[in-house]
Chain A
């Protein structure tokens, strides 16, 4: 060896490489190392939190099947046709209009949950969008002032105060719900201005328009669920419960 000094760094590098080579495979290739049990436990705990009793299973399953067919035969084609005919700008205005009408529900539930800042923001958004936004057709407050709505409802309020889900209920047309969220829906309907209009055709018509309009934005979400799920009934139930729990935490 001409220059023995070069041996030192080379040796160092070789030792270093060997050392890292010994360490990494033991982490990478051992079957189910202990640290994964932590992950396993975490998901098991999460699963237990999302368990909601389903004593009405046979009724629920029947309604689920009914809704599934309704979606296939009527709602999806209607939403597709609507999306094809109605320009994006109008669809967005329709959505905004309804969002603005739901203001009392959000406002009261923000208050009930003690979120005064959120309630204040709701008031601000409502007045700006109703005036400058043209009866809520535009979302000036969100776009120009970067204000955010906080989508609270009475079911979430009850959840915040530790009212449990009760049991799982599937409603015709409305889809998955729980006893708690059904109570919430009844409470919220008292705060929805269009329910006080003394003309059933307006009330029902507006509900159909609202649901077709919102479905037009997520037409294939339900199909994706059906395509991906091993058991669509359980997948929908679990998805609903998870989503509500996330919203309550927010």
Chain B
């Protein structure tokens, strides 16, 4: 009986520890960036990827980026005050095309590059003292001879699911850059903003 009780307590402890591990497991933002980057790099390097058509490649990378970026926040920050003028279906549509634009730009940047010369130093992650859970991950991208500082700005909305909402290349925020463009479109209708983006993506 005594043994059984001991066994029960340890089982109880084990279950508790196990459950808390699932609930509180912290993937650090830096690990998250690293995993995402390694996955994308291995997709790009694979021979099956190289044999695909441009459209198929775009779709594959788009799917991957959609899981590492929070395109809703990306779109919100890029549109700035215009965001409020968009209906919720327009918001979704804008996010969809904006995520495709990011994918296409990303792919065109990487296409034809010697991917074996690409290496990333993960420098540091700084957790921001903000209401929302945010962290800036500092990296240094080595592309053969050229070194570029890249910062991934991340947010964790759910318990520990880190998503990218902005990228700073040599200190220049991509989202702030788009925001400046959209600021000048405060009088342009959401329909036109979306169709303009759509044309850009499908070009």
Binding site for B on A (CB under 8 A): 3, 5-6, 8-9, 12-13, 16-17, 20, 24, 27-28, 31-32, 34-36, 38-40, 43-44, 46-47, 50, 88, 92, 217-218, 220, 223-224, 227-231, 234-235, 237-239, 242-243, 246-247
Contacts and interface: CB of A to CB of B under 8 A. Distances in A.
3 nearest A-B residue pairs (beta carbon) = A246-B171, A228-B105, A35-B132
Contacts of B155: 39
Contact of B181 (A28, A32, A234, A246): A234
Contacts of B134: 39
Interface of B: 8, 11-12, 15-16, 19, 23, 73, 76-77, 80-81, 88, 101-102, 104-105, 108-109, 130-132, 134, 144-146, 155, 157-159, 165, 170-173, 175-184, 196-197, 200
A43 B80 contact: yes
Contacts of A50: 176, 180
Contacts of B184: 231, 234
A242 B15 contact: no
A27 B158 contact: yes
Contacts of B144: 88
B19 A44 contact: no
Nearest to B197: A230
A13 B16 contact: yes
B122 to A, nearest CB: 19
B1 to A, nearest CB: 11
A5 B196 CA distance: 65
Candidate in A9, A24, A229, A237 with the most chain B CB atoms within 10 angstroms: A9
Given A24-B158, A50-B176, A43 B77 contact: yes
A234 B179 CA distance: 10
Contacts of A38: 130-132
B15 A32 contact: no
B145 A217 contact: yes
Candidate in A6, A34, A43 with the most chain B CB atoms within 10 angstroms: A43
Given A39-B155, A43-B77, A220-B108, 13 more contacts: A5-B8, A9-B16, A31-B88, A39-B73, A39-B134, A43-B80, A50-B180, A224-B108, A227-B105, A239-B172, A242-B177, A243-B171, A246-B170
